[in-house]
Amino acid sequence: AQTVTQSQPEMSVQEAETVTLSCTYDTSESDYYLFWYKQPPSRQMILVIRQEAYKQQNATENRFSVNFQKAAKSFSLKISDSQLGDAAMYFCAYRGEYGNKLVFGAGTILRVKS
């Protein structure tokens, strides 16, 4: 079974600074998808970024980028120029080649200090 591990329960960052959230996963599949979702206090789960395992290029969405290391099974999220609105719980998620089941990590609470 696939597992996703987020080893940082909580992180803090100063406004305008850069922060990196870590995620590792375990799978025997060769093709899969990885996601970062953000869950603010409203509890609405919002997609931040996605990465297809077959793509070597790291995904980027504005201030958000990933460092995808397939061999190491690592998928970290970098947030540049952090803003107060980035404060939320961040979940790393895995989806296999077949089906729509997402496997989530335990989450990392990100606090942004002004």
Partner 1 sequence: KAGVTQTPRYLIKTRGQQVTLSCSPISGHRSVSWYQQTPGQGLQFLFEYFSETQRNKGNFPGRFSGRQFSNSRSEMNVSTLELGDSALYLCASSLGRTTDTQYFGPGTRLTVL
Stretch that binds partner 1, among 20-28, 40-48, 55-63, 79-87 (CB under 8 A): 40-48
**Residue 46 in the binding site for partner 1 (CB under 8 A):** yes
Q: What is the DSSP string of 37-101?
A: EEE-TT---EEEEEEETT--SPPEETTEEEEEETTTTEEEEEE-S--GGG-EEEEEEEEESSS--
Return phi, psi of residue 95, to 5°. -135, 130
29 binds partner 1 (CB under 8 A): no
Shortest approach of partner 1 to residue 63 CB, angstroms? 19
Q: How near is the Cβ of 73 to partner 1 at its closest, in Å? A: 19
Does the protein bind partner 1 through residue 16 (CB under 8 A)? no
Residues 71-110 interacting with partner 1 (rule: CB under 8 A): 91, 95-107
Calpha distance 50→59 (Å, rounded): 7
Residues within the interface to partner 1 (CB under 8 A): 33, 35, 37, 42-47, 50, 52, 91, 95-107
